[in-house]
Amino acid sequence: MNFHAINAIFEREMARFFRTIIESLISPVISTTLYFVVFGAAIGSRIEMVGGVSYGAFIVPGLIMLTVMTQSVANAAFAINFPKFIGTIYELLSAPVGVAEIVIGYVGAAAVKSILIGLIILATAYLFVDVPIAHPVAMLALLALTSFSFSLFGFIIGIWAKDFQQLQLIPLLVLTPLIFLGGSFYSIDMLPGIWRTIALFNPVVYLMSVFRWSFFGTADVPIMVSLLAIALFIALCLGAVWWIFRTGWRIRP
């Protein structure tokens, strides 16, 4: 394992993040504030309690997941797509650096950025509501796991995309609807029977359910089922990355 290569990629990506730290941090804080105004105040005034907690506190895990998933995908996708776009990726591929080092460097940096933003969202939430965290260690572990898995997914999107327009295609048309329909702002137990069954085909539901469990101790689906779903998603992403580098799909002329 070439740790110097991992460190070089990681430091470069983190340096890019800190060069725009004001935009990177202010944007999620403003978005969280707006969500609390719209959902917490407007809708929360009509829905007082969900699952034994106030609606304002109930949406906090969903807000964190919404931001972490989108930021993980966006950061990782742009990080690998930009060097592919300008051609510097060929220098990286010709260097004595293995696939594992490249993936760990880019995905690790994107995941760390998302974890920091997720924690800032949580801190911002405390300005509006008191949020209990029943399992703080599990919460941090799930936050890191979600950041890593969606950064890996974003890495694949960055390689797949031929231009910056395609880079936004899957996040806008696929990921965003899945997140909003995955129980970010409601419990799927509130849905009628057939719609709850349909919702279980949404992979985001399992991430959202287990993450909300770490806060309130209750989940919409069994914890082990959620963890198995996350493990399957990570395995599929790792398999896709292995196949991409083995075949050179969209990274070699």
Q: Residue 203: which residues within 8 A CB-CB, separation 6 or more? A: 178, 182, 229, 233
Contact status, residue 222 vs residue 206, Cβ threshold 8 Å? no
Mean local confidence (pLDDT), 246-253: 86
Look at residue 253 and tell me if it is in a domain: no
Q: Which pair of tokens denotes residue 117?
A: 């933003």
Q: How far apart are CA 10 and CA 105, in angstroms?
A: 5
Average pLDDT, the chain: 89
pLDDT-derived band at 92 (thresholds 50, 70, 90) equals confident
Total domains in the fold of the chain: 1
pTM: 0.92
Tell whether 58 is covered by a domain: yes
Q: Which percentage of the chain shows pLDDT scores above 90?
A: 52
Residue 47 lies in a domain: yes
- Residue whose pair of structure tokens reads 């394992």 in the numeric block: 1
85 in any annotated domain:
yes
Q: 138 lies in a domain?
A: yes
In a domain, 146, yes or no: yes
Element (H, E) at 169: helix 164-170
Identify whether 237 is part of a domain.
Answer: yes
Residue 252 lies in a domain: no
**Is pLDDT at 203 greater than 80 in this prediction?**
yes
User: Mind listing the pLDDT tens digit for each residue in 205-236?
Assistant: 999 999 999 999 999 999 999 999 999 999 99
Answer with the residue of higher pLDDT: 22 or 190.
190
Q: What is the pLDDT of residues 56-77, one digit of tens each?
A: 889 999 999 999 999 999 999 9
Instruction: Give the domain extent around 108.
Output: 3-247
The SS3 assignment for 211 reads: helix
- pLDDT tops 90 at residue 157: yes
